[in-house]
Amino acid sequence: MEQPLSSRTIAVHVNGQLYEREVEARRLLIHFLRDDLDLTGSHVGCDTGNCGACSVIVDGTLLKSCMLLAVQVDGSELETVEGLSGNGELTELQQAFSDHHGLQCGYCTPGMLMSATALLRANPKPSDDEIKKALQGNICRCTGYWNIVDSVKAASGQQVAARE
């Protein structure tokens, strides 16, 4: 029978690259990504599961990596913000965030991008309400939400109304 262990060797694909590491059971996924793999794009905002700055995609599902243990993603395929632009060019979504001022201080941006990426995969032409609902788990303390919604909308190829 499976025995409880205080650490394990895990194998995960992150943005297509395989990593094998021994991790303590108590290690949160966000710290594994940032400190063990040096993938510091995903941010620690609140560390209480509210702000979404640590959002990543695990086996196709958008999750907050501060509420997962690293040992739980053993065998999984992860996508982080670093993986969005595989060839070094910005994705349409990233370019739209730049064009529509979807980022101010930028701290929430990695999480916003991952949530918007998950949304656009499931729903390529979201309405404003659908965008807001999809980004509900991501907090921007610069309060730049209008521009973030515009950015996602523009990335989906929809017209964005001009703002005064």
Partner 1 sequence: MLLREVEYARPSTVDEAVALLGAHDGARALAGGQTLVNVMKARAASPDVLVDLNRLDDLRAVSVHRDALVLGAMATYTQIMESAEVEVSRPILAEVAAQIADVQVRNRGTIGGNVCSNDPTNHLPPLLAALGASFTIRGAGGERTVPAEDFFLGVYLTAVGEGELLTSISVPAAAHAADGFAAITLGADGTCIANAAATLHGGETRIALGCVDAVPVVLRPADTDDESIRAAVEQAGLEPPGDVHASADYRRHLAAVCAVRAARQASERGR
Q: Which residues bind partner 1 (CB under 8 A)?
A: 1-6, 8, 24-28, 31, 47-49, 52, 55, 61-64, 66-69, 71-72, 74, 115, 118, 133-134, 136-138
Shortest distance, position 49 Cβ to partner 1, whole Å: 5
Q: What's the CA gap between 125 and 128, in Å, rounded?
A: 10
Residue whose CB is less far from partner 1, 20 or 164: 20
**Residue environment code for 97-134, b if the CB has 16+ CB neighbours within 10 A, otherwise e:** bebbebbeeebbbbbbbbbbbbbbeeeeebeeebbeeb
Q: What's the CA gap between 38 and 59, in Å, rounded?
A: 21
Q: What's the CA gap between 64 and 51, in Å, rounded?
A: 9
Shortest distance, position 8 Cβ to partner 1, whole Å: 7
Shortest distance, position 104 Cβ to partner 1, whole Å: 21
Shortest distance, position 77 Cβ to partner 1, whole Å: 15
Residue whose CB is less far from partner 1, 134 or 155: 134
Residue whose CB is less far from partner 1, 2 or 89: 2
Selection from 144, 52, 39 nearest residue 101 by Cα: 144
Residue whose CB is less far from partner 1, 13 or 101: 13
> 117: which DSSP letter?
H
